[in-house]
Every structure is written in C-alpha cells, then in structure tokens.
Amino acid sequence: MAWRLRLVPVTTNIDFFRLQWVTFGSSLVAMAASLILVFTMGLNFGIDFRGGTMIRTESTSVVDVGAYREALSTLELGDVSISEVSDPTFRDDQHVAIVRLSARDGEEAVTPEVITEVEAALKAVDPSITFPAVESVGPKVSAELITSALWAVLAGTVGILFYVWVRFEWQFAVGTVAALIHDVLVVVGIFSLFQIKFDLSIVAALLTILGYSVNDTVVIFDRLRENLAKYKQMPLREMMNLTANETLSRTIMTASTTLISLIVLMIFGGDVIRGFVFAMLVGVILGTYSTLYMAKNIVLMIGIDRSDKLKSTEKNEFANVDA
Amino acid sequence: MESSPLWKRIAILLFCGWGILAAAPNLFYGRVEGHNDAIAAIDLAGGTATPELEAARAEWPDVLPSALMNLGLDLRGGAHLLAEVQVEDVYKSRMDALWPEVRDVLRDLRDQVGAVKSLPSPDGVLRVAITNPDGMPAALEAVKGLGSSVVSLTGIGESTLSVTAEGTEIVVQLSDAEKLATDERTLAQSLEIIRRRVDEAGTREPTIQRQGVDRILIQVPGIGSATELKGLIGKTAKLTFNHVISRTSDAGANPGPRNLLLPSLDEEGVYYIVEESPVVSGDDLVDAQPSFDQNGQPAVSFRFDTTGARAFGDHTFDHIGQQFAIVLDAEVISAPVIQSHIPGGSGIITGSFTVEDATQLAVLLRAGALPAEMTFLEERTIGPELGQDSIDAGKRAALIGMVVVALYMIASYGIFGLFANVALAVNIALLMAFLSTIGATLTLPGIAGIVLTMGMAVDANVLIFERMREELRAGASPRRAMEQGFDRAFSAIMDSNVTGLLVALIMFWLGSGAVRGFAVTLGLGILTSMFTAVYVTRLIVELWLDWKRPKTIVV
C-alpha cells in the first residue's frame, strides 16, 4: 500500500455524543457570551457602517502616532482614531497608518476642505507622507449599508433553511440553521471581544461562512439520509455516529485544504483583506466543529420520523444514481 | 455503466481548451491591454495607424482572445463617488419658469381677476394672489390650461400641474404623477451628462450607473482623487441669461419676490439683483467653443437654437440700454449692457477667464447643465500604488496557496491527488476565462474568493476519492470503484454546491460594490469547480484506467 498522508485513520469509531452536554453546552455558552459581548462592548464598526472618513497614510519614516494626534488635535475634527498598521508584506521603509475621522452631524460626507486640512497637517509632521487611500461614507449610506448587510445575512439563512427543508426534512433544516447561527454569532462575538474592525468585507465573510458551514453540514446529512434508507433498524444516535465517522476523513480533509488557503492569504495577502481572512478562518473552524457537534445534536433532539418518509428519498433525483 | 462516450470527452476537452485560451490574456495583462488600446485608437482614427500603434497592436496576436478581467478600483486605483441627485431642484426651476406664463394668462383676464401678485413660497410651489375673489374659477381654469398630460407609463391622462385655490391665492405645483415622471427624466439626464463629462476627460472604462430612485454611482479608474472627479462632474454648469434689475454692494439686500441676489464672479463685493425667471437658459444652447474676444482675451462663444435665439432676440430688442446677467451656477460671470438688438442667436461670454477656464466652461456648456444639484454620500480614492501592492499580495497568496494545496492533495491521494490538481488548474483557468468573457471586475475580495475557491474546489474531489476508497475497501474493482465513487458522491456535491450558489446569489442581489464582485467570483468558482471536479477529473481517471488497466488501485 502506497504511503498516504492521513490525518484521520481509515476507520474511526468516535462517539460524537459522548460528551454532548459539554460540547453542546459550551456552544450555547459561546453563543450567549457572543450576544452579551455584542450588546455590551459593541462592534468596532468601520466607516462603512458608522460613517466618517478613513485616510490611509504611507511614509518612508516610522509612524509616530503621538505626533499625528498632536498635529490633528488643533483641527477640531471630533472623534479621531489613529492606528499603525504592520504587515509582513510591507517593504522595510513602508510605514502605514490608518486615520479615522467620525462623521459629523448634519454632513453627508466629510468635505474636501477637511480632508485637505488633515493631509496638510500630517504632511507638516512627516514630509514624506503620502495618502494611498481616502474613503468617506456619509451617515445616510452607512445606515443603509447596515440594514442591507443584516438583510443579506438573514436572507442567506432563510434561503438555506428553505433549500435544506426541500431537499431533506425539516428537522435537518432546523439543525443546519442552528449550526449556521452558532457559527456566525460566535464569529461576530470574537470580533466584538477583540474589537477588530467590522466592515462590509466582514459581512461578505459571514455570508461565505454560511456557505461553507452549510456545505459541510449538508454532506453529512446527505450520507445520513443514505444510511437511513440502508439501515432501517439502527438507532438514530448510533447511525449518526456511523455517518459522522464515515465522512470524518472528508470533513477534515476539506477543512484543512480550505484552512491552508486561508492561512496563506493571512500571511501573504496583505493587510487590506486581513480582517476578512481572519473572519473566514474562525468561521471555517467553527463551521467544521458545529457540523460535528451542533447540527446533528439538534436533529437527534428533535428526532426524525422514520416511518413513511424513507420511500420518498428513494425517488430522489440525485441519490442512488446507480440504483 | 459505460465510460463516457467519445463526443462527451471531446466536448469536455474543447471546453477546457477554450478556458485556457480565454484565460491566457490575463497572464500578459500589460501587453494585451496595450494591444486592445491600440485597436481602439486605430478605430477612432478611422483605420489609420501610427507605427507606435501598430507595434503595440502586434504585441498580442489578433487571432487569440483578448478579453481581460477588469481590475476594480481597489486594484487599479481611482475614484468612486455615490451621488444623490436633488430631484426637488427641478420642481423649483419648473415653477420658476412657469411664473411668467401664469402672469401672462392672468393678465389677459385682468377684468375678472384684478391685479396679480406672486407671493413668497416654498421651493417647488408657486403662490399667486389675485385681488378679485370672484374671478377665481376663471383664474384656476386658465392656470390649469397651462398644464399638459403627463408623459409616462403610469400617469397617462393626468395633468402635469396641480392647481388649487386657497382664499384669494392660487397654489400651483407639479402633480404627483408629473413629479415621478420628472424624477425619471432628471436621473436619465444626469446620467447622460455625467457620462459625457467623464468621457470628455478621456479616462478608461468609467462605470456610471443609476442606483435606486435618485442615486448615481460613478467609478473612474486612473483618476487622481475623488475631489478631482467631483470637480469634473459636480458642477451643475447651469447657464442662464437673466434680466438685471439693479446692482448693489449690499450682501444682505432684499431682492424682492421672484428676484435673486447673486454675487459677481470676479468683482469682489458686487451683487446683482436679477429676475429669477431666465430669459434664456443653457438648455437652448446648441454649441459652445472656447474663443477670444476683440481684445484678445479668452472667452466662450455660443450659439442658441431657434427658440433660444428668438427669446434672446426679442429680449435684446425690448431692453436696449439695459443690463443683462450671464449667470453660471448662481454666480454672475458678466453683466454686459445691451448695445443693440441681437437677432442671430449667437454671442460670446467674456469674463476674466484663463484659456483653461474657457476651455473647461465650453466643455461643461456643451455637455449640458445638470438638471439638478448632487450631494455626495460616499467617496473613495484609492491610489495606484496601493492597488499594485494589493495585486502583488494577491498574486503571491494565490500562487503559494495553489502550490501548498497541490502538494497536500498529492500527499493525501497520490496520483489521484495529481489528477485533482490538474482539474484545479483547469478550474482556475475556466474561472478566469469566464470572468474575462463577461467582463467582470476583479477586486481584492475577488482575488481572496479565487484563493478560497482553490481550497474549497478540491472538496468535490475529496468527496469522490473518499467514496472510491470506501468502495475499494468493500472489494469493488478499480473501474467499478471509480464509477461508484463519482456517482454516489454526486448527490452530496450537488447539494453542497447549490447551497453555496444560493449564498453567492444572495450576496450579489443584496450586496454592493466589492461584495458583489466577490459574489460573482465565488458563484462562478462554484460552477466551474463542479464541472472540473466531476467531468474533468472523471475524464482523466477514465483515460488513465483505459491506458494502465491496473488490477488494483490505491486512492
């Protein structure tokens, strides 16, 4: 037998329900904690959602946040935040900082005069400074972006709920969606805990996590449906373990190739998309976990009606192509 | 199950070949772009080419596909603006233009309605007082007669004007149906004018799109900053010729109803009181060119259409010796005294212009005035260096990601891993081919999407290979294991990809800008990866089995 890299033995017999109250319980705790975090600490919204202006500065000399703040303090800009950005992809003489100005009441976008003033003030501190990106979002648009982002995540979830319901059973749909909510909520919680900038790209990441997580869950459910038809007498709990063990190799394999891509992006992809990649990274890990420990538990808790529906899966257009 | 028929194999191979060909231009981005630009330039010059253009064109063979993925602003650098058109402006100018007509029809009914006076009123509403209340029905009738039927799909038959009486006052405004129709026209006109102005500036592939009811999205790659772009499109360039009532140096002077107090453009502290309803407006212009006046100073010469020419001729005939003001965006450029009747409908605007000012003004006047002002809700400027950094980082990440995933697949599945890698490479080529062919815009999140697709695309192959392993363990022959592996995994592949596609669709539908670009990449990536994982890998495995005819295989 040729050598193969195997992260999972050929046959496993893990009881995924042995510690179900610990695993399921900790998932519930994590979800509750995330909710509490979001409501108490809030999210560090980027200008997409909060309105305001973001100026990216780049200079050949080292960023002196104190001096920048000093220079801007005389301009009466309201809430100003300055943070240095470091990244392994930067050149040695590339020093980047992000200056964020909050939106002012009654103004749709920051006026060009304000931006010119800020740029002049920073130039006085560091003559070699350049401004590779300047972005302003008015409060009107940012409010709409929040709404449409929420709608997108909601619509994504409902769409998936519906699809899984049609293709499988409603119990499966509930399990899938519970796992999805878990994944998205905990990612948002982590962003709140570490106060990582939360902008439009993070919403795209959340939606992709939805897609990934449901993909993972559906593969197991697909096998479960097949096994339900095959072993009519096996208790549900045992069958779920069998299914999860049968597909474990694939679950781990896909998670690892995706994680590899993400880690590469994290290291080499530059700082602009780091937040996005980080969200995905956490989401993929959570998605894999929730597939194994969350979605199935819920289906088991609800139980499946195994009497009449089984025949209908036989007629399913995709299953049992060779039959 | 038989192995795939020959026609199917050939079709798959042809499709893959097309993908590789159509993706190829993106590997030589600079050269192909030069080639495409040269062709466009030669076309523009009417088919004659300079040697430089010919050389640029020869950089890429004409017979090969030359469609490229558009690079988004975050990769190429440029400016992005989201503008909201103040549609109410148009209601106001319509009412302002209506006042002289209302005055004239009511003047004809002087015996019935008495004296007519315009009252101060909110923008977009015209309030007229008459002294004889008995004449109200006749007055209403006359004013209503000024309206016409709304021209739109929904509002046919309704009048453009809503005319009501309040005591001795007549209140005139646009009807709701006409407001809707007007908004449509305002937006369409604004779009067209912005497009013309941006095109005159000659930048590459600008995106100018309507968004929602009253918004316009403008993205111009390669422009220095959003401020510059605003300078180009933000000017309303509303040109009017108004009758001057008086000249003052008091900035707080009360101009009186239906009159305006406007500052002079080049004389500090000088203001003109002019009639609000213009004699002629820029809408009546047919041409504007930079030129010079008698003293050799830069100026802009213009020509009116027939209506404009008649109105201008009549006005100059009636007002010899009086001043009129040339007003651009609420500033008086100049206020010459009418020396004689000007019947020809052409004239010259002088002021203290530089040659550049005169040229820009002529461009703005030629492109036409924006019907309404715009406020900018969102503006983004990305420098080209940052874009280049992002491209470099994206390329590096994609390359390294691909190599690592490929090695990992070979380590896990041996020769089958290699097959999956070939399919993966074809997948990337197909994805790039599709993105180029539909002219999709590649953004930084889009690149992340491609890298992510590489990680997720092997999933289908993983599912198949794991299934093949199971079949082999159950004692199936190599051929049977392959068939079973592909067939049985198909249901899972289908379900998992359809949900992924669903999410991509929702992102595209609800998302904006970069999120949309990401959704397109992700969605297409799912489609191409399904094709390559199922058909291409299967074809390779079949060919390999036919060639080697192994007794046993290890996946």
Q: Tell me the per-residue pLDDT of B173-224, one tens digit each, with 9 for 90 and over.
A: 888 888 888 888 888 888 888 888 887 666 667 888 888 888 999 988 878 7
The full set of domain ranges for chain B reads: 6-70+383-548, 88-181, 238-351
Nearest CA to B150 among B183, B198, B182? Answer: B182
Q: B470-509, pLDDT tens digit by residue?
A: 899 888 888 889 888 898 888 888 888 888 888 888 888 8
Report the pLDDT value the prediction gives residue A313, as an integer from 0 to 100: 47
A37 shares its domain with A185: yes
Instruction: Indicate whether A32 and A57 sit together in one domain.
Output: no
Domain count, chain A: 2
List alpha helices for B355-477, DSSP H: 355-367, 384-437, 444-473
Per the CB < 8 Å rule, is A250 touching B462? yes
Domain extent, residue A209, equals: 20-44+142-314
Q: Provide the pLDDT for residue A315.
A: 46
Q: Does a structural domain hold residue A304?
A: yes
CATH architecture of B6-70+383-548: Up-down Bundle (1.20)
Are β-strands B271-275 and B259-263 bridged in parallel, bridged antiparallel, or unpaired? antiparallel
The answer on A61 and A77 residing in a single domain is yes
Question: Per residue in B17-64, pLDDT tens?
Answer: 999 999 999 888 888 888 888 888 888 777 777 888 888 888 888 888
Q: Is the pLDDT of residue A104 over 90?
A: no
- Chain B residues close to A273, C-beta within 8 Å: 444-445, 448
Instruction: Report the Cα–Cα distance between both ends of chain A, in Å, rounded.
Output: 31
B377 contacts in chain A (CB < 8 Å): 108-109, 137-138, 140-141
pTM of the entire predicted model: 0.78
Closest CB to A269: pick one of B394, B459, B498.
Answer: B394
Residues B107-164 have pLDDT tens digits of 888 888 888 888 888 888 888 888 888 888 888 888 888 887 776 656 566 788 888 8
Q: Which of B428, B493, B501, B503 to mutate to test the interface with A (most CBs of A within 10 A)?
A: B503
Name the DSSP class of B440.
P
DSSP letters for A77-101: -SSEEEEEE--TTS-TT-EEEEEEE
CB contact (8 A) between residue B379 and residue A133: no
Beta sheet of B125-130, edge-to-edge order: B116-119, B125-130, B169-174, B161-166
Cross-chain Cβ contact A201/B445 below 8 Å = yes
The angle at the Cα of B402, spanning B401 to B407, to the nearest 5 degrees, equals 100
Judged on CB neighbours under 10 Å (0-12, 13-18, 19+), A107 is middle
β-strands B441-442, A44-45: how paired? unpaired
Determine the topology of domain B238-351 in CATH: Gyrase A; domain 2 (3.30.1360)
Residue B281 is given by DSSP the state E
pLDDT exceeds 90 at position A191 = yes
Tokens of residue A246, six digits: 């049968």
Q: Are residues A39 and A71 in the same domain?
A: no
Give the Cβ contact number of residue B151 at 10 Å: 12
Rounded Cα–Cα distance for residues A195 and B4 (Å): 55
pLDDT in tens, A253-312: 889 999 998 999 899 888 888 898 999 999 999 999 998 888 888 888 888 877 654 444
**A282 contacts A187 by C-beta, under 8 angstroms:** yes
- In the block, residue with structure tokens 């040339």: B326
CB-based contact A318 B495, cutoff 8 Å:
yes
Q: What is the pLDDT of residues B213-260, one digit of tens each?
A: 889 999 888 787 888 788 778 776 778 888 898 888 888 888 888 888
Residue that is last in its domain, among A105, A137, A169: A137
Q: Which residues of B touch A160 (CB under 8 A)?
A: 499, 502-503
- For residue A6, is it within any domain? no
A264 within a domain of the structure (yes/no): yes
- Judged by CB atoms closer than 8 Å, whether chains meet at A260 and B401 is answered as yes
Question: Which residues in chain B are closer than 8 Å to A265, comparing Cβ atoms?
Answer: 397, 401, 448, 451-452
pLDDT band at A140 (very low <50, low <70, confident <90, very high): confident
Q: Of A84, A80, A81, A89, nearest to A61 (Cα)?
A: A84
CB contact under 8 A, A132 and B386: yes
For chain B, state the CA radius of gyration: 34
Claim to verify: residue A292 and residue A158 sit in the same structural domain:
yes
Q: Is residue A1 part of a domain?
A: no
Q: Compute the nearest-CA separation of A159 from chain B (Å).
A: 7
Q: Do residues A232 and A294 share a domain?
A: yes
User: How high is the pLDDT of residue B279?
Assistant: 86
CA dist A7 → A11, A12, A189, A250, B23 (Å): 12, 11, 30, 10, 35
Inter-chain touch B401–A259, beta carbons under 8 Å: no
Tell me which residue in A133, A204, A319 faces B382 most closely, judged by beta carbons: A133
Same domain, A239 and A273: yes
Contacts of A135 in chain B (CB under 8 A): 379-381
Mutate to test the interface with B, among A164, A257, A266 (most CBs of B within 10 A): A257
Query: pLDDT digits over A9-47, tens only?
Result: 877 888 888 888 888 889 999 999 999 999 999 998 888
Nearest partner of A17 among A240, A216, A291, judged by Cα: A240
Which two structure tokens, joined as six digits, stand for B145? 């007669």
- Looking at residue A108, its pLDDT comes to 62
Q: Do B507 and A152 touch (CB under 8 A)?
A: yes
CATH of residue A123 = 3.30.70.2040
DSSP string across A88-157: TTS-TT-EEEEEEEEPPTT-SS--HHHHHHHHHHHHHH-TT-EEEEEEEE-HHHHHHHHHHHHHHHHHHH
Buried b (16+ CB within 10 A) or exposed e, B306-319: eebbebbbebbeeb
Question: Using the beta-carbon criterion (under 8 Å), do B451 and A2 form an inter-chain contact?
Answer: no
What is the C-alpha to C-alpha distance for residues A96 and A103, in angstroms, rounded to an integer?
Answer: 22
The domain boundary residue, chosen from A137, A169, A195 = A137
Q: Retrieve residue B17's tokens.
A: 């070949």
Provide the pLDDT for residue B406: 92
